[in-house]
Amino acid sequence: MTESLLYIVSTPIGNLGDMTPRAVEVLERVDVIAAEDTRHSKRLMSHFGINTPLIPCHDHNERQQAESIVNRMRNGASVALISDAGTPLISDPGFYLVRAVREAGFRVVPVPGACAFVAALSVSGLPTDRFFFEGFLPAKSGARRKRMEVLSAFEHTWGVYESPHRILDSLEDLQAVLGDEHYIVIAREITKTFETVLAGSVSDVLERVRSDSNQQRGEFVVLVEGNKKEKSSEITPEIQKMLQRLLEELPIKKAAAVVADLTGLRKKALYEHGLTFKDND
């Protein structure tokens, strides 16, 4: 008997050439496709000649559909989950379904592909060794600015999705929170005909978007450079106490690494400082 599986299938975010052969094969092979918007997905299925039945699975019915899908799988069916575009569950519904399927004892299999945030990040020129994805910010300016203030403390790159009717307001809020000179990147209509990537200071990008109505259309990824404020290199009395306490339990190298991770200070300086404690023992 063939194993019943739930496939999480990525679909193109614009350019249909980004549909992978494996995604087409899986969508043709499964018994049913759970789609965020069946009307939207019918066009994609038609383009690739996929005739698998579609059922709706979105924010408003996911819990009910999860039960139905699990029952289908218990009866031997395999199911694919797709969103309107890109990788399902990335600021889209689906996590409740995935959890329900896993708790029912079935495997969940990813079929990787396009993701607007990752695509934008890859061409941003911003550091990518660490990054944070916020999803969508609050719709109201006051709440949006409060969240931006929290995010502005991050030392690594962070990013959000934004809609065309809020992009100007969001950029103005970024200017108010980060100042004029902070470096940002906005990617618009990734992989589509009018794909645009704008990079520069907040004030420069805001002015370019404000002065060109075409740059206010489409779907946006907004990426922000992390906080680059230099940390103090001083080993304060509080840090000395922390290091000294850790040295009671850990080797110098390990204790220095832990304190460096917590404070941002250089491991070498902390290691050398730790040696002075040992010398005085």
pTM of the model: 0.80
CB 176 within 8 A of CB 145: yes
Domain end marker among 82, 114, 146: 114
pLDDT of residue 265: 83
- Return d(Cα 35, Cα 56) in angstroms, integer: 5
- Retrieve residue 141's tokens: 């300016």
Domain end marker among 114, 140, 159: 114
Share of the chain above pLDDT 90, in %: 79
Q: What is the CATH number of the domain that holds 201?
A: 3.30.950.10
Whether residue 48 lies inside any domain: the answer is yes
- Domain range for 246 is 237-279
Same domain assignment for residues 126 and 72: no
Same domain assignment for residues 258 and 159: no
Whether residue 232 lies inside any domain: the answer is no
Roughly how many angstroms between the first and final C-alpha of the chain, as a whole number? 69
Q: What tens digit of pLDDT does each residue of 138-182 get?
A: 999 999 999 999 999 898 999 999 999 999 999 999 999 999 999
Whether residue 14 lies inside any domain: the answer is yes
Q: What tens digit of pLDDT does each residue of 189-231 get?
A: 999 999 999 999 999 999 999 999 999 999 999 999 998 765 5
Whether residue 229 lies inside any domain: the answer is no
Same domain assignment for residues 107 and 207: no
pLDDT of residue 144: 97
Exposed, middle or buried by CB within 10 Å (0-12, 13-18, 19+), for 243?
Answer: buried
Whether residue 231 lies inside any domain: the answer is no
Q: How many domains does the chain have?
A: 3
Same domain assignment for residues 135 and 220: yes
Whether residue 89 lies inside any domain: the answer is yes
